[in-house]
Amino acid sequence: MDEKTPTVAASYGGQAVSFNKDYLLSAPGVLKLGELIFGLLCWALVAAVYLNPFINTPAYQFVLFVSVTSWILTTALFIVGVLGLNNSKFSTAPWGIIEFSFNAFWGLLYFVASCVAAAYSGQRPHLIVATVFAFLTTNLYITDASFAYKQWKGSFPWQRAGTQTNVSA
């Protein structure tokens, strides 16, 4: 009797779902992984302060909301990319627009949350570190948004063939 070896791919709705290691090595995959790591560090540090009733303010509640919500949604989007669902099951969705909108929105919200965290951090070292991680995460989301824009439009506006900028003296 021949026994068949199990495969990594699984059938889901008539289309194969498999681990996409190319996504992990791509710029969006690496950026998403960085967003997850720095975002986790940010909200873990803010959550430690959030438990202190003397420091618990609406400002920290906002920072915690932004960091936790974006982390959960980024995790879901990362899983979609790693499993290749954006290329198989949900291939008809406009992923360039979705990724650009998602990253631009969270980049903007993270920037506001970073500014709020910086304004309220005071002399507390763990909040200063949380603010640094929040700004790093902001940069990752904005960079990811620029790559998503390039995926959506095909290239950056200044890279399009036939487009020249007139510089007149």
Which residue has better confidence, 164 or 83? 83
pTM of the model: 0.78
Tokens of 33: 């992984």
Please give the pLDDT value at position 11. 47
pLDDT digit string (tens) for 30-72? 999 999 999 999 989 988 876 666 567 788 889 999 999 999 9
Cα→Cα distances 99→28, 63, 77, 152, Å = 9, 22, 9, 9
The domains of the chain are located at: 19-155
pLDDT at 122: 81
CB 151 within 8 A of CB 95: yes
Using an 8 Å Cβ cutoff, are 99 and 148 in contact?
A: yes
Q: What is the pLDDT of residue 157?
A: 56
The phi and psi torsions of 12 (rounded to 5 degrees) equal: -140, 110
